[in-house]
Amino acid sequence: MTAGLRRAVAAEWVKVYSVRSAVATLAMVPLLTVGIAVLVIVTGSLPPGETILAAGLGNAVPAQLVAGAFGAMLVAGEYGSGTIRPTLAAVPRRYLVLTAKALVAFLTVAVVALVAAGGAYLSGVLMADTARNPVGGVLPALPGFAVALGTVAMLGVAVGGLVRHPGAAVTAVTAILLGPLLIGPLLGDAGSGLIDASPTAGLQKLADSGAWPTLALITGYSLALLAVATVALHRRDA
């Protein structure tokens, strides 16, 4: 990491921990993830044999939405408050700012998501009737969940850089995450491909080793969108 990027990351990290709403948003991730796992356990709604982790993490789409909104607000929130101008005056090499935001978004959300998935695992161990529904393997579920949410936070950063209005940026991330699920079924074969490639598919496949190719695909297009957002950031007036 160059000195410039290291400094930009340090600055972005201060921004995250110094605003109550950002911390509260991050706290939603474990709350939602563990909450959904507990809900799955106590309702006993799983077919016999399905694992707690597959069901709990697979349905943690709300936690993924929060991750996307967190990333989007990291950029769009600055346009909303105007902080982007002091930020860019302090770091005029704009790609450093967006790269630092993407790194901080990915790392903080991934760490929080790992803790959240650990919480879901523990609640399975402690509460579930494991004879009927086993808890499920830690791999690839826990690190996979961390990557699935961290990547979506990074996707959110890219969307926030392109759509600068806070409300519009959060709506756009939500549309990217839920759109395929809502529209896919209407499109036949093309639609199922769309659903398979959508960020939420990364969650559904966490129970088996099929998770990694899907996660790699999601990470790939998130990085591509981040590159587009970086070019746009350099071209547009702040």
Partner 1 sequence: MIEVRQLTKVYGGRRAVDDLTFTVQPGRVTGFLGRNGAGKSTTMRMILGLDRPTGGQSRVAGRPYTRLNNPLGTVGSLLEARAVHGGRSAYHHLLFLARSNGLSRRRPAEVLEMAGLSDVAHRRVRTFSLGMHQRLGLAAALLGDPPILILDEPVNGLDTDGIRWIRALVTGLAAQGRTILLSSHLMTEMEQTADHLIVIAGGRLVADTGMRALIAEHSRGHVRARSPHPDRLAATVESAGAAVVPAADGTLRITGLSPATIGDLAAEHTIPLYELTPCDETLEAVYTRLTSDAAAGDPATADPRQAVSAEVVR
- Binding segment (CB under 8 A) for partner 1, from list 4-12, 47-55, 118-126, 155-163: 4-12
Q: How far is it, in rounded angstroms, from Cα 9 to Cα 20?
A: 19
Q: How far is it, in rounded angstroms, from Cα 28 to Cα 138?
A: 22
- Binding segment (CB under 8 A) for partner 1, from list 18-26, 126-134, 167-175, 196-204: 18-26
- Residues near partner 1 (CB under 8 A), total: 31
CB of 90 to partner 1, least distance (A): 5
Question: Residues 3, 47, 49, 186: which binds partner 1 (CB under 8 A)?
Answer: 3
CB of 98 to partner 1, least distance (A): 13
CB of 124 to partner 1, least distance (A): 36
Site for partner 1 in 74-133 (CB under 8 A): 77-78, 81-93
- Binding segment (CB under 8 A) for partner 1, from list 13-21, 61-69, 114-122, 171-179: 13-21
Q: How far is it, in rounded angstroms, from Cα 224 to Cα 186?
A: 27
- Shorter beta-carbon distance to partner 1: residue 53 or 169: 169
CB of 170 to partner 1, least distance (A): 16
C-beta pairs of 226-230 under 8 Å, 24+ apart in sequence: 226/98, 226/102, 226/154, 226/155, 226/157, 226/158, 226/161, 228/158, 228/162, 229/98, 229/157, 229/158, 229/159, 229/160, 229/161, 229/162, 230/94, 230/95, 230/98, 230/99, 230/161
The torsion of the CA quartet 33, 38, 44, 48, rounded to 10 degrees, works out to 60
Burial pattern 166-180, b for ≥16 Cβ within 10 A else e, equals beebbebbbebbbeb
Judged by CB under 8 A, does residue 2 bind partner 1?
A: no
- Shorter beta-carbon distance to partner 1: residue 82 or 193: 82
- Shorter beta-carbon distance to partner 1: residue 132 or 234: 234
- Binding segment (CB under 8 A) for partner 1, from list 2-10, 26-34, 105-113, 136-144: 2-10
CB of 10 to partner 1, least distance (A): 4
Binding mask 173-212 for partner 1 (x = CB under 8 A): ----------------------------------------
Where on the chain is the footprint of partner 1 (CB under 8 A)?
A: 3, 7-8, 10-15, 18-21, 77-78, 81-93, 235, 237-238
